């Protein structure tokens, strides 16, 4: 894997993770404030824009690598999103949930390197 491919994989992963956190915030905000307000729309729009960046970078990568090879990098998103949801969104993270997320990530990585 070239440095360029690694770079695009990292950017694609990072924009995906940040998008999920922003969208979760937006949807929670919408529960008390409804869908028609500027703060919700702008958050959702940033989330969607980041997901779009991640999507097209993935499409570029798929032209060069097997899906079963690329997919595991998305697996890392489980760890990042679970940890960041606990830290940034102050969600409860039990030992059990953390362990589950770790096993899922380990499993996905194993699938990728096999």
Residues in Cβ contact with 113 at an 8 Å cutoff, skipping those fewer than 6 apart:
72
Is 59 a binding residue for other proteins by CB under 8 A? The answer is yes
DSSP for 64-92 reads: TS-HHHHHHHHHHHHHHHHHHHHHHS---
Is 1 a binding residue for other proteins by CB under 8 A? The answer is no
Is 14 a binding residue for other proteins by CB under 8 A? The answer is no
Q: Would you say 22 and 47 are in contact if contact means Cβ atoms under 8 Å apart?
A: yes
Is 23 a binding residue for other proteins by CB under 8 A? The answer is yes
With CB under 8 A as the contact rule, the residue among 24, 43, 50, 73 that binds other proteins is 24
Cβ distance to other proteins smaller for residue 1 or 89 = 89
């Amino acid at each position: 894997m070239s440095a360029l491919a690694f770079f695009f994989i990292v950017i694609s992963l990072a924009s995906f993770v940040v998008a999920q956190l922003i969208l979760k915030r937006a949807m929670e905000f919408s529960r008390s404030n409804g869908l028609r307000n500027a703060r919700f729309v702008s958050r959702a729009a940033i989330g969607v824009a980041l997901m779009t960046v991640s999507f097209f970078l993935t499409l570029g990568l798929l032209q060069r690598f097997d899906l079963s090879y690329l997919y595991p990098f998305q697996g890392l998103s489980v760890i990042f999103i679970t940890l960041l949801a606990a830290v940034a969104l102050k969600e409860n993270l039990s030992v059990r949930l953390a362990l589950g997320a770790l096993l899922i990530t380990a499993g996905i990585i194993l699938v990728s390197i096999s």
